[in-house]
Amino acid sequence: MMKIGCHVSIAGGIINAPKRSADLGCEVFQIFTRSPRGGAALAITPDIIRTFKEEMAKWGQENCYIHTPYYINFASSDPAIRQASARIVREELERGTLIGAKFVMTHLGSAGDRMRSEALKLTAEGIKTVINGYRGSTVLLLEISAGAGNVMGDTFEELEYFIKNSSDKVNVCLDSAHMFASGYDIKSDKGIAETLKTITDTVGLKKIRLIHANDSKIDLGGRRDRHDHIGGGKIGEQGFVNLMRIFPDRDMILETKPDLVGEDIEKLKILRSSL
């Protein structure tokens, strides 16, 4: 059964995240394990691992998910940035394994002025580097992008390419706002049917493992990443009902503003109960 939650702060340490999640009404949650803007990651010690797992049980949180930092860029023209991106995503998988996180999801970066074909190959190579030799339990998810600029992974065809040219162990995170901005209509009957066919013909439904549930301030195909609260944006509640019907056993994670995210969680729970 689908579980619903949101991204929560790790201020004061990751051990505080399970309670914060429960306070918001989460059944699952997402975190950064390090600053998303840069800097070294704090060590995850045996004491932290034990306490974190105790807090997960205490506050009834079924799963946690990790988002990689924002600066990941597998398509950068700078080899040092590409190498660092692969290293950091691999570290997040290892850190996720330590605390029992189910998934790590990542953005893929931007090609900048580089030719798209070359950027596709570099991105696939970077993902392959992340996975080679990895033996942990946390699974890597590639997040579909909103298509702004020359950002990688804004179509299911590109995500399929990355998986086929890296590792079958890699899966996909849908982001409703990103999909919508990239031109996938998930709100109308015709649009959701076409989107479903595209997913089926490319990555396949089984590869979709998690959904970032965000409404969009941007119109269909607007190619910008601007989240809105559930029902308050261009997608509307019907789009989330459509996703729930197609993926009834995939968890939904909200990435909306903290002041109203609790209301968004409750809205999704009401929509879920109406199906």
pLDDT higher than 90, residue 14: yes
Arithmetic mean of pLDDT, 182-188? 97
Confidence of residue 213 (pLDDT cuts 50, 70, 90): very high
CA dihedral 54, 59, 63, 64 (to 10 degrees): -80
pLDDT higher than 90, residue 30: yes
Angle at 127 between CA 53 and CA 250, to 5 degrees: 50
Arithmetic mean of pLDDT, 246-260? 96
Total number of domains constituting the chain: 1
Domain that residue 70 falls in: 4-274
CATH code of the domain containing 114: 3.20.20.150
Distance CA 172, CA 160 (A): 9
Buried b / exposed e over 150-187, threshold 16 CB at 10 Å, is: bbbbbbbebbbbbbeebbeebbbbbbbbbbbbbebbbb
The percentage of residues in the chain with a pLDDT greater than 70, rounded to a whole number, is 100
Residue 34's pLDDT is what? 95
For residue 179, give the nearest of 271, 247, 130 by alpha carbon.
247
Arithmetic mean of pLDDT, 224-242? 97
